[in-house]
Amino acid sequence: MKEKRIAVVLASLGPGGAERIMVRLAGLLARQGFPVDIVVPGPQSESLKAGLDKRVCLMELEGGHYYESLRGFHRLFKSRNIFLLPWAISIFIRKLFTSVRSLTRYIKRSRPCLMLTAHYNSIVLAANYFAGRPSKVVVTEHTLLSEHLRRQIVPVRFCFSQMCRFFYPKADCVVGVSSAVASDLVERFRVPASCAEFIYNPVVGRTLREKGAECCGHPWLKDKDTPVLAAVARLSPEKDFDTLLEAFSLLRRTMPIRLLVLGDGPDRARLECKAGALGVDSDIDWVGMVDNPLPFVREADALVLSTFYEGLPTVLIEALSVGTTPVATDAPGGIREILEDGKYGYLVPVKDAHALAEGIERALRQPMEREMLRRQAEAFFEERSVEAYMELFCRLLCE
């Protein structure tokens, strides 16, 4: 089976969590001896290319990604600039057709036996149809799709809901990154239960352990008298940093405490203003995006995730792997699976600043045993994920 080519089709090489996971999976499959292409729309930056496994072949197709024009459409709709909406819609449709056409050409030319896709799922299924269906298609879903779409503007929500309900059942298999994600696809997007599986992401491995052992020079983490929290996430509405800032403000009234925010995003300026209004800005360091947040997480007294929903949050698994006690909202998705109903971390209600503050205080006063947390992270070993995918591929290709 190892002479059969696998194409991993992505919207881009990064910097999102799903893209990083799929690039890692592509490299792991290539190490097993499979010929692997990573297929992306348009040219990618050299910094992103540098992270690819040398055994993987990068295929940069014609045209840009239609998600870029979709973001512009989203901004125009929210700004109510209706005069530019027809122009934005026309760009979106043109890029959509360009994406399908260029991917169809790739499939006809390279004829991969199997395509594995993330964030580009409907496009891949449509292109495979126009190419004469030469490839098996495995769709991976990395978020709780119903929750994600529920928070989009109405035209986007309607369009993508219908696309997913039409295309996803036509995949040879749909893989959710947690059992909650897989169940959501079956219950809300017409995916037959016989075609739905869940496979945990390949997170824990040699590379992660090496990154976790690197030094962290942040001065706050050298001061053992003042506890430090770490929050690693994109600064966007679904991560609900507002509740985290409110909880942090409540804690600051009763104890000295500091917060490191590792990540960037569209909400950064507004959140910095809110921190100033709450009077806690001097105890928050907006570190921004870093190549390796693991040393910060390892040295922090607790990892906090205050999200509305998640597929399978990698940062929680990474916190477990370095033995840092996590505090997370009991949000829809894979959080409860990772923490096993609160056995390996503190769970609190969603959008409840008082409960989040109490959960953080408990984590600081009663941190969980580091070795116990590290053992829980073993469920997300790279080897287990790769074995599950190889078993799935073998089953599909032998049908």
By residue range, what is the domain housing residue 46? 6-202+381-397
Name which of 134, 127, 145 is nearest 191 in CA terms: 145
Residues 215 and 138 in one domain: no
Asked if residue 192 is part of any domain, the answer here is yes
pTM: 0.90
pLDDT-wise least confident of 55-69, 343-357, 362-376: 55-69
Residues 213 and 362 in one domain: yes
Residues 181 and 297 in one domain: no
Asked if residue 111 is part of any domain, the answer here is yes
pLDDT-wise least confident of 40-54, 97-111, 269-283, 379-393: 40-54
Residues 262 and 179 in one domain: no
Asked if residue 1 is part of any domain, the answer here is no
Q: DSSP secondary structure string, 179-200?
A: HHHHHHHHHHS---GGGEEE--
- Residue type for position 186: V
85 to 79, 82, 206, 266, 323: CA distances (angstroms): 10, 5, 48, 21, 49
**3-class SS at 140?**
strand
Number of domains in the chain: 2
Residues 80 and 215 in one domain: no
Q: pLDDT category, 322, cuts 50, 70, 90?
A: very high
CA Rg, the chain, in Å? Answer: 22
> Does 34 have pLDDT greater than 70?
yes
Residue-wise pLDDT tens digits, 208-224: 999 999 999 899 999 98
Q: pLDDT category, 80, cuts 50, 70, 90?
A: low
Residues 143 and 262 in one domain: no
Asked if residue 288 is part of any domain, the answer here is yes
Residues 218 and 273 in one domain: yes
Residues 223 and 364 in one domain: yes
Asked if residue 145 is part of any domain, the answer here is yes
Answer with the residue of higher pLDDT: 173 or 158. 173
> Does 116 have pLDDT greater than 90?
yes
Answer with the residue of higher pLDDT: 84 or 254. 254
Asked if residue 276 is part of any domain, the answer here is yes
Domain containing residue 124: CATH number: 3.40.50.2000
Pairwise CA distance, residues 74 & 237, whole Å: 14
Residues 181 and 272 in one domain: no
- Residue 75 is predicted with a pLDDT of 57
Residues 74 and 211 in one domain: no
